[in-house]
Structure 1
Amino acid sequence: MSRLNWQKSTFSEEASSCVYVAVASNGKVRLRESDDPDVILSTTRASLRAFIRGAKGGAFDRIQEGGA
């Protein structure tokens, strides 16, 4: 696996709670958090774009902690 070029989100203000993103050579988007960098999520650009659009539009505002 090639080395990823991780970029820190500009919205990550505290060093202990940063979100990083990288694009793999196969075009997949990788996401990780600074507090558990060994856990890496993988998605497509289109899926990430749809998720961000939904989050900005309030689609997840009613999600409760611990809910299924």
Structure 2
Amino acid sequence: MADAHDSSTETRDEDVKARKERERDELYALDISDVEWHSAPGTEEHEERVEIAYLPEGAVAMRSSLDPDTVLRYTEAEWRAFVLGARDGEFDLEPAPHNGGTPAE
């Protein structure tokens, strides 16, 4: 019985991987030449900044103002996970004290 369960789990994992690859391929196939790029309020055109553009189906494109030709694209689920993680301090350069970390010395 364990073999059937392992096979079922493996098939499901392969299906998820194939779906994610299709989503990524479709996302990168989108023509985004006319999207409107947004940056944090208060930043000037000449300042280094992160810019994002909203794409169909909740997807998001992100780039650096210093390298506008390199664009990363995220599905809605990936973007939501990133934003929630950022809000929770997962990407802070220094551990946040409220997450069990200690301030840098």
Could you tell me which runs of 5 or more consecutive residues in structure 1 were left unpaired when the two chains were aligned. Answer: 64-68
Identity of aligned residues (%): 35
Counterpart amino acid of 1:13? T
8 Å CA contact retained: 2:59, 2:79: no
Match in the other structure for 1:9? 40
Match in the other structure for 1:66? none
Q: Deviations over 1:2-56 (max 9, x none)?
A: 511112222x635321221112346531111111100101001221121121122
8 Å CA contact retained: 1:54, 1:60: yes
TM-score of the superposition, structure 1-length normalised?
A: 0.65
User: Are 2:48 and 1:21 aligned?
Assistant: no
Q: How many residues align?
A: 62
8 Å CA contact retained: 1:9, 1:21: no
Could you tell me which runs of 5 or more consecutive residues in structure 2 were left unpaired when the two chains were aligned. Answer: 1-30, 95-105
Match of 1:52 among 76, 80, 83: 83
Compared CA separation, residues 46 and 35, structure 1 to 2 (3 A): same
Q: What value does the CA root-mean-square deviation take over the aligned residues?
A: 2.4
Larger relative contact order (CA 8 Å, sep ≥ 6): 1
Match of 2:64 among 9, 19, 33: 33
Q: Over alpha carbons, which structure has the higher Rg?
A: 2
